[in-house]
Amino acid sequence: MDNSNDLRRDIAKQTMQNDVRLNAAYIDGEWITIEASDSDTVDDHALYDPNLGEVIATTRLSTKFHVDRAVDAAAKAYPAWSQTSVSTRAHYLNAIADEMEQQFDKLVGLSVFNNGKPIEEAKIDVSDAIACYRYYANLITEQETWSEVSSESGIRLLKTYAPVGLCALIVPWNFPMVTTAWKLAPALAAGCTVLLKPSEVTLLPELMLGNILSAIQMPKGVVNILPGGAEVGAAMTSHPWIDKVSFTGSNLVGEKVMIQAAKGIKDISLELGGKSAIVVCADADIEYACDLIIGGIFTNAGQICSATSRLLVHQEIAQSLFKRLKAKTEDLYIGDGFDTATQMGPLVSKQQLAEVKKYMDIATAENLDCLTGGEILKRQGYFATPTIYTDVPVSSQLWMEEIFGPVLVSATFSDNVEAIRLANDSKYALAATIVSADETAVLEMALQIEAGHIWINEQQIVLPEAGWGGFKQSGIGRELGRDGLSAYQKSKHVLLPS
């Protein structure tokens, strides 16, 4: 590690010490120190730097007691906030974006420090989150209070939108600030008040949001932030006053959340797992296809819901493609997220590394052909090698299950019909990439591939105006775009004489 890495880490550490409120929940516009209440026990919770595998801080997580206080605050704030003008809501959304821009370097540093992702990827995350707040600030101002649906035979039908109410927002650790923005921005734009629970794994960047809300003087109680784990998530999603649950995370927890939210018939959005395909056709440019394959699986060390973790390559070009893919993969610089040269950083945690190791062991037991990688690195931090298995049968656990790490499985196909069949051979259907020189044929293929988002000859860019979400077990509902706003609104129709 060179000195500049040390320096960047030191700056992030200083930010943590000076700016992040540990041992506290942000409720009703204030930081409330977390202490054991009569009914709850509070244990210390460790936060890690995955680059070094070291504890960087210990903090306390909130409990059901704080959930109840936060719900009270959100309920108290709701009548006024839900009636604010759209221009007022847009003002606050833009103010969040402005303040995030002011704090850009700190947010990036904390993200690398606590999540491990390479610094350039962390910069993209913070920029994407800012763009999301601005997008919903604009979108909400475009929405008319009343729109005329029809006017005939002496009657008029009008439509308006009302906020859905009090929302429980629960996010994972893989894109701190981004998954939060995807929920928080449209919820605030719609006029909802919220309880936000960031992942207990990556609290450092997420807790900065409390400071940002205080700095812009967001009305008290509109946003309440609860650092917590499963217990707090369950208390939020089953609380009788919560109207809407929006959850991003694993299918295992998603199923629990759905059951918890069933109590009181809550509205629900679920953004869950994926096992997305990247299809490389015979006419694809091999060099470019390799770049898209590598970007699709090794960005964020494969910890992306839309990671294209199943490669389907036309048999005619398979041999030459695998040769280049192996060489390019082995050229990737694996290192500390604070090192600007790093192209792939560590896994987020010891548990996530163990999960990747589990699948590498299954691959060995299944006798899969390992083109490259297949190892956990013997060094400080939670590092695995970028790994590719070829000729993987569809019955393999590695083919079927989401690994959430830098592990690519691949198979070949002989024509587009087989490619589509293989791409759709999954319980998930979140995203896909197609690489081909024939745009007409690929658009036809895109119609038949089951996925909520398909990239054709493009990296995984997600624009705020594009709805995000999957089919099948990848979830329910859409985030981002107009659909993302609708997720926090209920339409209301009014009929009157014309």
Q: How many helices (H) and strands (E) does the chain have?
A: 16, 22
DSSP helix/strand/coil, 436: coil
Is residue 452 at the binding interface for ligand NAD, with CB under 6 A as the rule?
no
> Least distance (Å) from ligand NAD to the CB of residue 402?
6
148 catalytic? Reply is: no
- Nearer CB in complex with ligand NAD: 372/474: 474
- Given the DSSP bridges, would you call strands 407-413 and 310-314 parallel, antiparallel or unpaired? parallel
> Choosing from 132, 290, 305, 450, which is the catalytic residue?
305
Is residue 359 at the binding interface for ligand NAD, with CB under 6 A as the rule?
no
- Nearer CB in complex with ligand NAD: 317/462: 462
On whether the CB atoms of residues 394 and 411 are closer than 8 A, the answer is yes
User: Of the listed pieces 217-225, 232-240, 261-269, 411-419, which binds ligand NAD according to CB under 6 A?
Assistant: 232-240
- Nearer CB in complex with ligand NAD: 67/422: 67
Is residue 355 at the binding interface for ligand NAD, with CB under 6 A as the rule?
no
Q: Look up residue 111 and give its amino acid.
A: S
- Given the DSSP bridges, would you call strands 475-476 and 267-271 parallel, antiparallel or unpaired? antiparallel
On whether the CB atoms of residues 451 and 431 are closer than 8 A, the answer is yes
Is residue 233 at the binding interface for ligand NAD, with CB under 6 A as the rule?
yes
On whether the CB atoms of residues 276 and 308 are closer than 8 A, the answer is yes
Is residue 405 at the binding interface for ligand NAD, with CB under 6 A as the rule?
no
On whether the CB atoms of residues 460 and 304 are closer than 8 A, the answer is yes
Find the angle CA(120)-CA(124)-CA(129) to the nearest 5 degrees: 150
CA distance 137 to 150: 28
**Window 294 to 333, contacts with ligand NAD (CB under 6 A):** 305
CA distance 176 to 465: 20
Is residue 197 at the binding interface for ligand NAD, with CB under 6 A as the rule?
yes
- Nearer CB in complex with ligand NAD: 121/200: 200
167 catalytic? Reply is: no
Is residue 349 at the binding interface for ligand NAD, with CB under 6 A as the rule?
no
Copy the structure tokens of residue 354.
Answer: 């163990």
Q: How far is CA 283 from CA 212, 410, 436, in A?
A: 49, 18, 6
**Window 132 to 191, contacts with ligand NAD (CB under 6 A):** 170-174, 179
On whether the CB atoms of residues 222 and 27 are closer than 8 A, the answer is no
How many residues interact with ligand NAD (rule CB under 6 A)? Answer: 31
- Nearer CB in complex with ligand NAD: 248/342: 248
How many other CB atoms are there within 10 angstroms of residue 357's CB atom? 15
> What DSSP letter does each residue of 166-181 carry, written as one string?
EEEEE--SSSTTHHHH
User: Of the listed pieces 123-131, 184-192, 246-254, 417-425, which binds ligand NAD according to CB under 6 A?
Assistant: 246-254
The residue with its CB nearest to ligand NAD is 233
> Least distance (Å) from ligand NAD to the CB of residue 459?
17
Q: How far is CA 285 from CA 290, 359, 438, in A?
A: 9, 31, 11
- Nearer CB in complex with ligand NAD: 99/402: 402
> Choosing from 99, 200, 271, 479, which is the catalytic residue?
271
- Nearer CB in complex with ligand NAD: 230/262: 230
**Window 253 to 282, contacts with ligand NAD (CB under 6 A):** 253, 256-257, 260, 271-274
CA distance 42 to 225: 17
Among 248, 269, 387, 396, binds ligand NAD (CB under 6 A): 248
Copy the structure tokens of residue 9.
Answer: 């880490």
Active site residues: 271, 305
Instruction: Report the interface residues with ligand NAD, using CB under 6 A.
Output: 170-174, 179, 197, 199-200, 229-230, 233-234, 237, 248-250, 253, 256-257, 260, 271-274, 305, 402, 404, 430, 474-475
